[in-house]
Structure 1
Amino acid sequence: MTSEKKTERKSKKRRRSRRQNPDGTMTLMEHLYDLRYRLGMALLGVGIGAIIGFVWFEWFPFNALPTLGELLIKPYDAIPANLKLPGTEGKLLASGPFEGFMVRLQIGAAAGAVLFSPMWLYQLWAFITPGLYAKEKKFARIFVGCAVVLFVGGAVMAYFVAPEALTVLSSVSSAEFLTALTADKYISFMLALLVIFGISFELPLLVVMLNKVGILPYEKLKKWRRGIIFGLFCFAAVATPGQDPISMCVLAGSLTLLFEVAVQISRLNDRRKNTENEWANLSDDEASPLNYDPQPETATPESEVRATAYDDDAT
C-alpha cells in the first residue's frame, strides 16, 4: 500500500471520527461509512457473545452460575414424572445427528445477543444520536432504558410461567401419551415464549409514546378502553405458542395491568399539557384570554382637589 493511500484512509477516518466532527454533520458517503462501521462492531459483539453462550451452555467458571442447559431444562423437569417418558429426566431427545449442536449454537447466539445488547444498542444509539436535539436525546434514553427493563421483565415472567404451561399441555390425553420432547421443538417453544412475552411487555411504552406525540390522547384511550382490553385477550390467545390457558391468562392479565398504567400516565401527561397551555380547550373561533391585568386608576379624593384649587388661587 502506497503512502498516498494510507494518507487518504487516515483522512477519511478522521472525518468519520466524532472527536474531529463533534456536531455530527457528515456527507452521505460518510454516513454510509459510519453505518458500515457500526454494523461491523455490533456483529462483532454478537459473535463474541455467541461464543460465550456456546461455552456457557455446558460450563461456567467455578460453577458460580448454573449453565444455560440447566436453566432451559428446569421448566421441562417441572413436569410431573408420571407424565414424562421414563429415563428422560433432565434430558431432551435428539432426532437428528446434528440437532444437539445446532440447538446449542442457536441458544448461544440468543444468549450472545442478550449479553452484548449494551454494545449493539450503543452502536445504534451512536449512529442516530447526531440527528437528534437535546430534548429528543433525553427522551430516547428514557425510552431505550424502559424498553430494556420491560423486555427483561416479560422474559422472566415467561420463564416462571413455562413450567405450568408445559404441565397443562402434557396433562391433555395423559392416559394415552407420555411426554418426550425433542430438543429442537422444546427450545423453539421456550424461545418463542420468552420473546413473545418480552415484546408484548413493550405495549405501555408504545401507548405512552403515542400519547406523548399527541396521536393517542387520554380521552380516546378512556373511550376505547374496553375494546382494547378485549383485543389484548384475543392477542394473548393467538400469540402464546402453546395456546394453553395458563400462559394466555397470565399474558392477558399482565398486558391489561400494563395498559392501565400507561392510561394513567397518559392522563397525567395530558393534564400537564392542559395546565401549561391555557388555550388548548378553546375552539377555533373563540377569542383567547389575555393575561394583561392593568392596575385601576385610583380616584383623587375631593378634599385634595379643593386643596389644589386653593393653592392655585393663592398663587
Structure 2
Amino acid sequence: MSIEENFVSHLMELRDRLIRSMAAFIVVFLVLMVYPGAGHIFDFLSEPIQLALPHGTKMIATGVTTPFMVPVKLTAMVAFVLSLPVTLYQMWAFIAPGLYQHEKRLALPIVFSSTILFLLGIAFCQYIVFGRVFAFINEFAPSSITPAPDIEAYMSFVLSMFMAFGLTFEVPIVVVVLVYTGMITVEKLVEIRGYVIVTAFILAAIFTPPDVMSQLFLAVPICLLYELGVLVAKLVGRRKQDLLEKA
C-alpha cells in the first residue's frame, strides 16, 4: 500500500470513528429528551441554587425561547458527558495500532480513569460546591432585594464550572502521562510543587466567581490531585522500568 493510500485509509477510519462517537451522542441525547426529559434534567441541575434562594422564589427566563432552549442545551451537555466513554474509546482504538505494547497497557486504563475522574469532578461541583457557594453568596444579598437569577446566565455559569472542575480532576492523568512519556521526572514534579500551588490559586481566581469559597473549592482539589498524580506516577514509573528490564 502506498503512502497516499495509507493516508486515505487512516482518514476513512478517523471519519468512521467520529461518526460512531457522534451517533453515540445523538442516541443518548434523544433518550434523555424522552426520559427523563429536558425539563426534569434542568430541575435536577438547578436544585442547589433553588435550595439557596429564599422560600418561594424561582429563577426567571427573560428570552422568548429561553425556557425551551436552556433545558435542551443542558441536556446536550449531559448527553456529551454520558457518551464520553464511547468517544474516548474511539480515540484510543484509532491510535492504538501505532503504540508499543507497554503503551497499550497504559492507554486503556487512562481512557477509563479519565472518564471517571471527569465525572467525579462534575459530581463534586454539583453536590458539594454549588450548594455551599450559592448559600454563601445569597447571605450577602441585601434584604431590600429578592435574588431571582436568569436561567440562561445560570446555565452558562453551570457549564463553565462543570468544565473547570471536570478538567481539574484530570490533573493526576496529566501528571502520570508526563512522567510515563519521559517529559518530566517525579523528582522535578516534587521540586515545582510550590509553583503548582500558586498556579492553582491563580487558575481558581480566573475560572470561579469572585468569592473566596469558590476559589478554595477549586484550588485545594488541584493541589490534592497533583499530589495523587505524583504518587501514582511513582508507581507507574516503577512498573514501566520493570517491564523494560524484562523485555
The equivalent residue for 1:51 is 30
Q: Answer yes or no: is 1:74 the counterpart of 2:47.
A: yes
Equivalent residues in 2 for 1:1-315, closer than 5 Å? 27-56=6-35, 58=37, 67-81=40-54, 87-88=56-57, 91-160=58-127, 161-240=129-208, 242-268=209-235
The equivalent residue for 1:19 is none
Cα deviation 1:97-119 (Å, max 9, x = unaligned): 10111112201211211222233
Counterpart contact for 2:85–2:111, Cα < 8 Å: no
- Judged with a 3 Å threshold, the aligned counterparts in structure 2 of structure 1 residues 50 and 58 are, in CA distance, closer, same or farther, namely closer
Partner AA of 1:72 in structure 2: L
Partner AA of 2:45 in structure 1: L
- Choose 121-130 or 98-107, whichever is displaced more: 121-130
Counterpart contact for 1:200–1:255, Cα < 8 Å: yes
Counterpart contact for 2:66–2:152, Cα < 8 Å: yes
- Judged with a 3 Å threshold, the aligned counterparts in structure 2 of structure 1 residues 127 and 264 are, in CA distance, closer, same or farther, namely closer
Q: CA offset at residue 207 of structure 1?
A: 1.1
Counterpart contact for 2:85–2:115, Cα < 8 Å: no
More helix by share: 2
Cα deviation 1:43-78 (Å, max 9, x = unaligned): 122122222233345489xxxxxx313311211122
Q: What are the ranges of 5 or more consecutive residues in structure 2 without an aligned counterpart? A: none
Q: CA offset at residue 93 of structure 1?
A: 1.1
Partner AA of 2:24 in structure 1: G
- Choose 256-265 or 150-159, whichever is displaced more: 256-265
Cα deviation 1:164-199 (Å, max 9, x = unaligned): 111222233423432101111111111211111010
Counterpart contact for 1:232–1:252, Cα < 8 Å: yes
Which structure would you say has the larger RCO, counting Cα contacts within 8 Å and 6 or more residues apart?
Answer: 2
Cα deviation 1:238-283 (Å, max 9, x = unaligned): 122x2322221122111111111222334455567789999xxxxx
**TM value normalised by structure 1:** 0.69
User: What RMSD in Å do the two structures reach over aligned CA positions?
Assistant: 2.7
For 2:244 and 2:107, locate their aligned partners in 1 and report how far apart those are by CA, in whole Å.
Answer: 24
What is the percentage of aligned positions where both structures have the same residue?
Answer: 32
For 2:206 and 2:90, locate their aligned partners in 1 and report how far apart those are by CA, in whole Å.
Answer: 34
Counterpart contact for 1:203–1:259, Cα < 8 Å: yes
Counterpart contact for 2:25–2:83, Cα < 8 Å: yes
Counterpart contact for 1:232–1:255, Cα < 8 Å: yes
- Judged with a 3 Å threshold, the aligned counterparts in structure 2 of structure 1 residues 122 and 211 are, in CA distance, closer, same or farther, namely closer
Partner AA of 2:19 in structure 1: G
- Judged with a 3 Å threshold, the aligned counterparts in structure 2 of structure 1 residues 56 and 191 are, in CA distance, closer, same or farther, namely farther
Larger Rg: 1
For 2:210 and 2:218, locate their aligned partners in 1 and report how far apart those are by CA, in whole Å.
Answer: 11
Counterpart contact for 1:46–1:113, Cα < 8 Å: yes
Q: What are the ranges of 5 or more consecutive residues in structure 1 without an aligned counterpart? A: 1-25, 61-66, 279-315
Counterpart contact for 1:56–1:68, Cα < 8 Å: no
**TM value normalised by structure 2:** 0.86
- Judged with a 3 Å threshold, the aligned counterparts in structure 2 of structure 1 residues 274 and 69 are, in CA distance, closer, same or farther, namely closer
For 2:26 and 2:237, locate their aligned partners in 1 and report how far apart those are by CA, in whole Å.
Answer: 44
Partner AA of 1:178 in structure 2: T
